[in-house]
Amino acid sequence: MKPETARSSIGALIGDHRDGHALEGGFYTRQDVFEKDMRLLLDRWVCAGHVSDVPQAGDWLTTELGRESAIVVRGDDGVLRALANVCRHRGSRICDARRGAASILTCPYHAWTYHLDGTLRRAREMPTDFDPSDHGLQRLALAEIGGLMFVSFGPDPPGLGEAGEALGAMTRHFGWESARVAERRQYDVAANWKLVMENYHECYHCAPAHPEFSVLHTLARPGARRLASKPDSLTGISDHEAWDPAPGGREVGRVMHSPLASGCSSGSRDGGPVAPLMGGAPRSSGTSVFSELGFLAAFLAYPDYGVIYRFMPCETFLTRMELIWLVRADAVEGRDYVLEDLCWLWEITSLADKAIIERNQQGVRSRFYRPGPFSLMEPGAAAYVARYLRELALVAGDC
């Protein structure tokens, strides 16, 4: 392994990768790699949240990726829009909080105000030749799929056709379009974003690290990760996995059924339901569905609740995870569900993941780290790494 004082180019780092193996340490530790990663990710789709957070005109939320921030706001006309969170005067952030509501958007620095569609409303004491129509907030690409909102900071984001259709089939079946947010929790992981994402693409670690999950999910067992060749007989949802490049570009995505252990119907302490049934999901299906779209979001649907995972790379050694729990829109906390029972499995699982990923980061920073081969239970992580390397090669100028 080359010492950090004599760094190879990113192209050489990619060329040194051995198929079927984990990445070299430099991918997880080098600032120049992280900066290229941000170029890659900013051009793709990221999940901003759920539409129930912005139900009325003037409701807004922010989503961030690296140095960039977007405001997703519902206009007076009821339309959702994504706007760059950058004032057109001298660049101040306009909205700092995660969520809020306002009749106009006001920059806190010099009080420029914007209509909810991003057009400039008023700018004080400007020259006579100043044209307000030239100074509206910049529009960003926005897509809504089954109640989930996605934003891209790039000028030409990849197509959502296959991945969007597969995710939409899942969210429609489980009633996510008409769901509401029951809880959200945030976890800061002191690790590179790729270590976080690789962890969430394999269940080799589930048995030793997640006994609670492993009791409920057959995915923790050897040979359990299989894509069905035809739609599931109970849910009608087809499995889907697309990580390879396609002509014209497409967003990566996955939908995969994960049967629960015998007698289980949800992700809970006793395997039983913790909230009212959602959508058309049969209570007795005994299955959950994992899905993802893009490089930084994952979704999990049970018959009675859903979980949104948002992953946000912040720095080379810092990744923020936000978990959002969904329930049926008319479910009432304390009557229809107990919040801690609803959150139990994925709270305890996320805290355990935080610990093992941070320990992983400490190890790959060692001079003794050498990438090992992926196991038979890590095909998802291997596919994720392979696609990442192909995408990185396209944005790395020295490749």
Superfamily of domain 158-394: Naphthalene 1,2-dioxygenase Alpha Subunit; Chain A, domain 1 (3.90.380.10)
Cβ contact 352:346 at 8 Å: no
Domains of the chain, residue spans: 53-142, 158-394
Least confident of 2-6, 38-42, 130-134, 380-384: 2-6
| DSSP structural state of residue 23 | P
In the prediction, which pLDDT does 1 show? 44
Distance CA 274, CA 278 (A): 11
Count CB-CB contacts under 10 A for residue 370. Answer: 11
Residue 247 clears pLDDT 60, i.e. is over it = no
- The SS3 call for residue 266 is coil
Average pLDDT score over residue span 260-269: 94
Count CB-CB contacts under 10 A for residue 47. Answer: 25
Least confident of 2-11, 187-196, 234-243: 2-11
- The SS3 call for residue 113 is strand
CATH number given to 53-142: 2.102.10.10
Q: What are residue 81's DSSP bridge partners? A: 73
- Mean pLDDT over all residues of the chain? 92
Distance CA 145, CA 33 (A): 31
**What single letter denotes the amino acid at residue 140?**
L
Q: Count Cβ atoms within 10 A of the Cβ of residue 129 and give its class: 0-12 exposed, 13-18 middle, 19 or more buried.
A: exposed
Residue 330 clears pLDDT 50, i.e. is over it = yes
Share of the chain above pLDDT 70, in %: 93
Distance CA 69, CA 84 (A): 6
Residue 2 clears pLDDT 60, i.e. is over it = no
Distance CA 343, CA 182 (A): 9
In the prediction, which pLDDT does 230 show? 76
Residue 397 clears pLDDT 90, i.e. is over it = no
Element (H, E) at 351: helix 339-364
In the prediction, which pLDDT does 246 show? 62
In the prediction, which pLDDT does 4 show? 45
Q: What is the pLDDT of residues 297-308, one digit of tens each?
A: 999 999 999 999
Distance CA 353, CA 351 (A): 5
CA-based R_g, the chain, Å: 22
**What single letter denotes the amino acid at residue 194?**
K
Residue 120 clears pLDDT 70, i.e. is over it = yes
* Sign (positive or negative) of CA dihedral 121, 123, 128, 134: negative
In the prediction, which pLDDT does 357 show? 98
Residue entry with tokens 């009608």: 236
Q: Which of 127, 120, 70 is nearest to 95 (CA)?
A: 70
Residue 399 clears pLDDT 50, i.e. is over it = no
| Residue 164 pLDDT level (bands cut at 50, 70, 90) | very high
In the prediction, which pLDDT does 281 show? 57
Sort strands 148-152 and 113-114 into parallel, antiparallel or unpaired.
Answer: unpaired
